[in-house]
Structures are given as structure tokens and as C-alpha cells.
Amino acid sequence: MHAHVVFVTKFRHNVFTDDHLVGMEEITRSVCADFECEPVEFNGKTNHVHLLVNFPPKVAVTKLVNSLKGVSSRRLRLAYLPAGGGRLGPGLRREGERGGAGQQGEDGGDPAAGAVRGGGHGPWF
């Protein structure tokens, strides 16, 4: 079975560089190997990534997607977040960092709250 998965950055900010995309492809291949899946195609731009995955029927698509999202976010942050802290780009914050004046999250609170909770509403990456 095949699944076409598209991940977008929070507010579709242009965040990804070519280095990010190369790293993300390597991470994707690693996660797919763990699930006994085959990444057929991988492509991305500065604000989104397309992935075509061939997976066996025993794999739940939701578990695969959640793992891809979580593992890639964690590994990319470790690899590319500046050592002294700071931000990678718009919408990408270190855990606990608050947004500027006038910025609110989807629930009216901290825009980084989704990233802190690790829930489905935070930025991907």
C-alpha cells in the first residue's frame, strides 16, 4: 500500500534549507526502515515536504506518520538549533521560548505551546 504524506511548517513559514531537506530525507529513510516501509519518493521546498511511502498492511499509517513527525522534529532541532539557543526561523522556537508581542497560538496562548506539549498542533520541525 502507498501513502502520500505532506508535512508543512507552522504558518507555512519558509524555514527549510537544502541542508535541512537532506537531513530530513536521511531521517525519513531511517524511520521507514524501523517500520519496514520503503520511502519511494521524497521532495520538499522551503515550507513543506512530500513523501511517498510504500508500507505493509500491518503498519498503521497514523503510527508511521506520528513517528516521522516526532523523530524528524527532534533530530533536526538537535542538529540545527544554534548551540547558544535562539531560533531556526519563524515559528521555530526552543521549548519554553515565548513569541513576541501580539503572537498567539491556536488556543489563544503561547504560540510555542504545541511544540512544548509535543501535540499535533505544534510546528513540524
Q: Residues in the chain, how many?
A: 125
Q: What is the pLDDT of residues 6-50, one digit of tens each?
A: 999 999 999 999 999 999 999 999 999 999 999 999 999 999 999
The pTM of the full predicted model, rounded to 2 decimals, is: 0.66
Distance CA 97, CA 17 (A): 23
Distance CA 100, CA 87 (A): 12
Question: Do residues 51 and 28 lie in contact, with contact meaning Cβ atoms separated by under 8 Å?
Answer: yes
Q: Which residue has the higher pLDDT, 125 or 77?
A: 77
Domains annotated for the chain, with CATH where assigned, are 2-117 (3.30.70.1290)
* Mean per-residue pLDDT of the chain: 78
Q: What pLDDT sits at residue 116?
A: 36
Q: How confident is the model at residue 99 (pLDDT cuts 50, 70, 90)?
A: very low
- Per-residue buried b or exposed e for 80-99, using 16+ beta carbons within 10 Å of the residue's own CB: beeeeeeebbbbbbeeeeee
Q: What is the pLDDT of residues 42-89, one digit of tens each?
A: 999 999 999 999 999 999 999 999 999 999 999 988 888 876 666 555
Question: Do residues 78 and 35 lie in contact, with contact meaning Cβ atoms separated by under 8 Å?
Answer: no
